Structure 1
Amino acid sequence: LYDNALLARFYAHLWRRTGSGLARRVAQETCAWMIAELRTPQGGLASALDADSDGTEGTFYVWTPAQLTEVLGAADGQFAAETFSVTTAGTFEHGSSVLQLRADPADAGRLARVRAALLAARQQRTPPARDDKVVAAWNGLAIAALAETGLLLDRTDFIAAATAAAELLASLHLSAGRLVRTSRDGVAGSSAGALDDYACVAEGFIALFGVTGEPRWVRIAGELLETALSRFGAGSGAFYDAADDSEQLIYRPADPADGPTPSGTFAVAGALLSLAALTGSARHRDAAIAALGLVPVLVGRYPRAAGWGLAVAEAALSGPAEIAVVGAPDDSRTAELHKAALLAAPPGAVLAVGDGSDSPIPLLEGRGLAGGQPAAYVCRDFACRAPVTEPELLRAALAS
């Protein structure tokens, strides 16, 4: 799950920055795959699928030219081999290939027909088993990816899936400000949440608020981050990965380096920075900046272990930008400004959306309609420019 969640969000933002059709397709199809293959009956997202089936790795997914021809016939088999880079030598093991669609062919109808036939044939194979554990941190990453991609690509089903996963975490994994790390079949596990659980869930909830405008998600994110500060802090801006009341170990883990997923330290720095931008809290911003203190050391020695930290540092250096969009939810002009805000947002920008009435979110306080029209405010440190009512003016304000 974490691989696909991180990739989906990355490709969605690559598309909005570059217009790459490949990036758009990968973001959309990855989100659709997570929902189709990993969503549990309770609304969460399962942690993984096995790599093997029938005792062999990749059996469910890989193809040979002969198998393509057997399913599709000679002409379409050749078309599929060329389109998906399936060779006689193979790109995986034992002459088999993983399908790769690096560019869309001119004949979209033929591609759709071929994909449908291959999918139907693949369904006759033994599928890999699924690990149904719902892991809080990984679901937090997926919530952010699904919510933002849903807004960018006008996929309300993605936003609905993000909301369902968030509801599961809030109702099952969270109690009195404390998280459990996993659940399965609607039953919470016994493992206490680690720092990355608190950080990634808070990050996901803040992103979900920026898409749905539901203040509840910011409130819960704030509670999670208060626990992170009070229970995981190690002094001088550092964090432990385990809470101070967790199982007592000989060595209390504290690893700031990013791995396949963001480290707890850098993930909590990002969530703290975003919360500070929504609330104006200097305390949370200071904690975020302090947590980034190890970035220069890691970048100099192990740059691959500081990617998330560098992204958060870039956001801090750019502000981050604070974007407030106000207007009636059912007004198409509000929706246009909302989407334009995320499309044009600079690194690490936070997004708040409301209807112009009183809001518990400080960034929305005092931000009303402009001349009776939906409006967007671009702010830094809560100092805002004059509101704009047109998407092109919003894009210009965010670019300057």
Structure 2
Amino acid sequence: MSALARNTLGGATSPYLRQHADNPVHWQQWGPEALEWARVRDVPILLSVGYSACHWCHVMAHESFEDEATAALMNENFVCIKVDREERPDLDAVYMNATVAMTGQGGWPMTCFLTPSAEPFYCGTYYPTVPRGGMPSFTQLLEAIADTWRGRRGEVEEASAAITAQLTANAAGVPGGQVVLDANLLDAAIVAALRDQDLDRGGFGVAPKFPPSALMEGLLRGYERSGDTKVLAAVERTAEAMARGGIYDQLGGGFARYSVDADWVVPHFEKMLYDNAQLLRAYAHLGRRTGSALAIRVAEETVEFLLRDLRTESGCFASALDADTDGIEGLTYAWTPDELLAALGFEDGVWAAGLLAVSSAGTFEAGTSVLQLPADPEDPARWESVRSRLFEVRSGRPQPGRDDKVVTAWNGLAVTALAEAGAGLGRPEWVEAAAHCARTLLDEHLVDGRLRRASLGGVVGDAAAVLDDHGALAVGLLALHQATGELEWLTRAEQLIDLAIEHFADPAEPGSWFDTADDAEALITRPRDPFDGATPSGASTMAEALLAAAALAGPERSARYAAAAADTLDRGALLLARAARSAGHWLAVAEASVRGPIQVAVSMTGDGADLLDTARREAPGGAVVIGGAPDTSPLLVDRPLVDGDPAAYVCRGFVCDRPATGVDELRAALAR
């Protein structure tokens, strides 16, 4: 019997894979050994893809993968491979495209049946233990696939060849030169995105509602360019609706993954690092530019959540908190009126129930409610006391599990958000937290000069970093360079950008990017998806890194980065023209590009903090802001003090204003 005839997930660096280490299924990790075992046995591969915070992944695991009879059927007829989609986004992308092509929809858990050469021939998502809603039971499906493999192999090979050919054809890059990237295109993209806004309840589309994180940032930048108050109103409406709803944790800060209803009341309870990093960036931007007390409070509480609940011992951030607690959704977070009375006493309990929309009817399950905050309390001190006591009681409840995996790209998003928010809102401790995380990523995730995707407990995994890892970390390092003035962050960002250009850029199509490196494991197709999803695409993230680096770097690199940014945005313009809501991060980067991007260099010695603080607080999103002594960074070269006094140099592209030596003069220059 092969040594692989057992479950081998115990040594994985993914917490999600480790959750399945005790299954009776002979799970393997993806790799040449497992693929070869399928060839030797001449059986199909059963590929199961999920992630730790996925509710239905846990359901299917409990119903099927923990069941001895089902496991025996799987082990007998298949080589079973488990993949964490967060650790291997390349595999997830390839087989999700196959799933969507076959079924018209996707999701997790993803269940794919492959030939031993890894070509998909049947794909789906969750399968129940009994037939339901037109779906077969999982065991019925297993038996049918096994019978087809044994008795009708030709049909399997025909199906796998057809879907593989379709995936290959769909892997072409987005063409360039189709649309001009200018203010007119951006205005049209904003109008298109706003057609789907919910004017009554905030957000976009219908239930389920996901936080439009990147789109909020893009719209904010659009408002700053155009001054169109309707655009700002859309952002403010969405920001307030989410912040007052159940999707936002009113006690502990931080946002859940999405709301199952259109009113933002009942969340799907997992909390993802990538959502909270992007939302921190948007709320901090909204707060610093409008003075919104709500936006600033939410930014502060979201940082508290990140530092308290997701920060690991290394100083980086864990991937997620689970949706379930002890297998029950909402167990940690939902309340009844009686529970509020028990925690707070009668008077405060009744007051809190009214304030937080908790009633005997309930808004969630079994008469429980998810806490909301429809209006600010008239007595803020009392609210802080109540909030603190309720959080203490809640902390004594069973808590959701945490996926401690440190993902490079998502930590890059957190570094960016913390550095920008810290600089813009005057919170240097947030900048320091960002720097600590960035230092850990550079120390642990760079191995032999190449970036890795993830680590667990300080042990880096084998999976190579993909494009968004390089782009997001580079953007974070550039944000730190601006927030601290330290040149090392710029140097390390340039190194990552150069790596990405060397290994991910399509040499045949300037401005087009693959999501995997040219020397990465060869899959049935080389994935590249330029559309933004829950996280910015690798291509749009690289566009942001290139654009900022072009403004911050020295002349030699600057020209090369600017050309690459222009080529990349030339292709992204087509996405903005055709699918603006799926190009929220493209919109944010394009807005910065069309405005220059705006560059503010504050030349200063011991004095000049007022100028620099004003620039950080009032420059539009996407602007590049740096401060320091003359000639201490490329953007400060040949920008001296004026008559011995600090001076702010404001430029747009290649056009610069006269240096501003006073705060009012700087404000006027930024407002032009």
Q: What is aligned with 1:250?
A: 524
Per-residue deviation, 1:271: 0.7
Mapped pair 1:299 → 2:573: no
Alignment of 1:180-259 (within 5 A): 180-234=452-506, 235-259=509-533
Alignment of 1:148-159 (within 5 A): 148-159=420-431
Alignment of 1:13-24 (within 5 A): 13-24=285-296
Native 8 Å contact 1:269 1:291 kept in 2: yes
Q: What is aligned with 1:338?
A: 612
Query: Which stretch of the first structure deviates more once superposed, 261-270 or 74-83?
Result: 74-83
Deviations 1:334-358 (A, max 9, x none): 32222211221123111112222x3
How far apart are the structure 1 equivalents of 2:332 and 2:571? Answer: 43
Q: What is aligned with 2:320?
A: 48
Query: Which stretch of the first structure deviates more once superposed, 225-234 or 273-282?
Result: 273-282
Aligned residue identity for 2:446: L
Mapped pair 1:284 → 2:561: yes
SS in structure 1 at match of 2:583: helix
How far apart are the structure 1 equivalents of 2:374 and 2:489? Answer: 37
Q: What is aligned with 1:370?
A: 642
Per-residue deviation, 1:27: 0.8
2:547 pairs with one of 273, 278, 286: 273
Q: How many residues align?
A: 395
Alignment of 1:1-400 (within 5 A): 1-175=273-447, 177-234=449-506, 235-279=509-553, 280=555, 281-328=558-605, 331=606, 333-356=607-630, 358-359=631-632, 361-400=633-672
How far apart are the structure 1 equivalents of 2:361 and 2:534? Answer: 30
Q: Which runs of 5+ in 1 are unaligned?
A: none
How far apart are the structure 1 equivalents of 2:447 and 2:644? Answer: 42
Aligned residue identity for 2:495: E
C-alpha spacing 1:91/1:267, structure 2 compared with 1 (3 Å)? farther
Q: What is aligned with 2:82?
A: none
How far apart are the structure 2 equivalents of 1:211 and 1:238? Answer: 30
Per-residue deviation, 1:395: 1.4
Deviations 1:231-259 (A, max 9, x none): 10122311000000000111000000000
How far apart are the structure 2 equivalents of 1:376 and 1:121? Answer: 50
How far apart are the structure 2 equivalents of 1:82 and 1:295? Answer: 48
Deviations 1:169-194 (A, max 9, x none): 11111245421111111121111110
How far apart are the structure 2 equivalents of 1:284 and 1:354? Answer: 23
SS in structure 2 at match of 1:15: helix
SS in structure 2 at match of 1:242: coil
Aligned residue identity for 1:11: Y
C-alpha spacing 1:216/1:102, structure 2 compared with 1 (3 Å)? farther
Query: Which stretch of the first structure deviates more once superposed, 374-383 or 63-72?
Result: 374-383
How far apart are the structure 2 equivalents of 1:66 and 1:293? Answer: 58
How far apart are the structure 2 equivalents of 1:353 and 1:121? Answer: 45
Deviations 1:149-176 (A, max 9, x none): 1122222221111010011011111245
TM-score, structure 2 normalization = 0.57
Aligned residue identity for 1:205: L
Aligned residue identity for 2:294: L
Deviations 1:55-109 (A, max 9, x none): 2112112222221122112221122122223233333333322223354312111
Per-residue deviation, 1:147: 1.1
Native 8 Å contact 1:209 1:215 kept in 2: yes
Per-residue deviation, 1:382: 4.8
Aligned residue identity for 1:189: G
How far apart are the structure 1 equivalents of 2:368 and 2:667? Answer: 47
Q: What is aligned with 2:182?
A: none
Per-residue deviation, 1:34: 0.2
How far apart are the structure 2 equivalents of 1:393 and 1:98? Answer: 48
How far apart are the structure 2 equivalents of 1:302 and 1:87? Answer: 41
Query: Which stretch of the first structure deviates more once superposed, 57-66 or 252-261?
Result: 57-66
Query: Which stretch of the first structure deviates more once superposed, 32-41 or 93-102?
Result: 93-102
How far apart are the structure 2 equivalents of 1:202 and 1:237? Answer: 18
Aligned residue identity for 2:344: L
Native 8 Å contact 1:48 1:131 kept in 2: yes
TM-score, structure 1 normalization = 0.94
How far apart are the structure 2 equivalents of 1:200 and 1:220? Answer: 13
Aligned residue identity for 1:170: L
SS in structure 2 at match of 1:61: coil
How far apart are the structure 1 equivalents of 2:549 and 2:373? Answer: 39
C-alpha spacing 1:71/1:287, structure 2 compared with 1 (3 Å)? same
SS in structure 2 at match of 1:100: coil
Native 8 Å contact 1:363 1:382 kept in 2: no
Per-residue deviation, 1:112: 1.1
How far apart are the structure 2 equivalents of 1:383 and 1:171? Answer: 39
Native 8 Å contact 1:232 1:241 kept in 2: yes
SS in structure 1 at match of 2:533: coil
Q: What is aligned with 2:176?
A: none
Native 8 Å contact 1:68 1:81 kept in 2: yes
Native 8 Å contact 2:288 2:425 kept in 1: no
How far apart are the structure 1 equivalents of 2:550 and 2:498? Answer: 12
What fraction of aligned residue pairs are identical, expressed as a percent?
A: 51
C-alpha spacing 1:89/1:338, structure 2 compared with 1 (3 Å)? farther
Native 8 Å contact 2:511 2:571 kept in 1: no
Q: Which runs of 5+ in 2 are unaligned?
A: 1-272
Aligned residues: CA RMSD: 1.6
SS in structure 2 at match of 1:379: strand
Native 8 Å contact 2:510 2:564 kept in 1: no
Aligned residue identity for 2:444: L
How far apart are the structure 1 equivalents of 2:455 and 2:396? Answer: 31
How far apart are the structure 2 equivalents of 1:375 and 1:103? Answer: 43
SS in structure 2 at match of 1:287: helix
How far apart are the structure 2 equivalents of 1:60 and 1:252? Answer: 41
